[in-house]
């Protein structure tokens, strides 16, 4: 495998709905967890019946004595929670939750269609490859993330890290070379 090529199997952690009846005006918020605590926080949120989404991808990690398939969070230290304003304190009281993510001095809200796009993206990126250079801006030209722009900030073994400005967070994305192109328009 050459530098800049990525091969990974992507999986999705299912959203679990609480047993309570769905309350109107719930929106997807983003929480920041303690480092490497995403899976523990996810389990604790489910215990207190908070609707939660944590996308995962599968990759192969090599240690000195073996190789192993591991599932890692797609967004390091980030978990999506679907709550209303009254449930914010309940989420903050969960061990391992650091804070809510804010955008323009308001809690960052992720629209349902963006969560759906992430889910579609995960379902369609299994085993795909790409070759790019660090610092290059790319546009995803087809597929579920069509029209999304990102800057390549790191190329590592087994993954490519794109800074997706619309989400204001780093997205680990495996995208087919045929699905990426240099942007046709200059970015502001």
Q: What is the 3-class SS of the chain, one letter each residue? A: CCCCCCCCEEECCCCECCCCCCCCCCEEEEEEECCCCHHHHHHHHHHCCCEEECCEEEEEEECCCCEEEEEEECCCCEEEEEECHHHHHHHHCCCCEEEECEECCEECEECHHHHHHHHHHHHHCCCCCCCCCCCCEEEECCCCCCCCEEEEEEEECCEEEEEECCCCEEEECCCCHHHEECCCCCCC
Count the neighbouring beta carbons within 10 Å of the beta carbon of residue 3. 10
Fold exhibited by the domain 9-181: Alpha-Beta Plaits (3.30.70)
pLDDT value at residue 109? 92
pLDDT value at residue 40? 96
Contact 174, 160 (CB under 8 A): yes
pLDDT value at residue 32? 96
Model pTM? 0.60
Contact 153, 170 (CB under 8 A): yes
pLDDT value at residue 35? 92
pLDDT value at residue 52? 94
Contact 151, 139 (CB under 8 A): no
Per-residue pLDDT tens digits of the chain, which is 188 residues long? 444 444 444 444 555 555 555 555 899 999 999 999 999 999 999 999 999 999 887 777 777 888 888 888 888 899 999 999 999 999 999 999 999 999 899 999 999 988 988 888 777 765 554 556 778 777 665 556 667 777 777 666 555 566 666 655 555 566 545 455 666 555 55
pLDDT value at residue 65? 87
**Longest CA span, the chain:** 52
Q: In DSSP terms, which residues pair with 81 in a beta bridge?
A: 29, 52
For residues 72, 75, 77, 82, the Cα torsion angle rounded to the nearest 10 degrees is: -110
């Amino acid at each position: 495998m050459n530098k800049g090529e990525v091969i990974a199997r992507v999986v999705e952690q299912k959203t679990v709905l609480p047993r309570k009846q769905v309350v109107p005006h719930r929106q997807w918020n983003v929480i920041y967890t303690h480092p490497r605590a995403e899976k523990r926080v996810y389990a604790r949120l489910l215990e207190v019946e908070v609707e939660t989404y944590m996308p995962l991808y599968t990759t192969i990690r090599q240690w000195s004595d073996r190789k192993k398939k591991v599932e890692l969070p797609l967004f390091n230290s980030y978990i999506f929670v679907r709550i209303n304003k009254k449930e914010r304190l309940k989420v903050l009281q969960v061990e391992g939750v650091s804070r809510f993510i804010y955008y323009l001095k308001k809690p960052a809200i992720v629209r349902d269609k963006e969560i759906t796009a992430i889910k579609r993206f995960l379902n369609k990126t299994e085993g795909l490859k790409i070759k790019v250079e660090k610092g290059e801006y790319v546009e995803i030209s087809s597929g579920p993330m069509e029209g999304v722009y990102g800057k390549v900030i790191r190329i590592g073994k087994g993954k490519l890290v794109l800074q997706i400005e619309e989400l204001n967070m780093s997205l680990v994305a495996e995208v087919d070379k045929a699905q990426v192109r240099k942007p046709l328009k200059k970015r502001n």
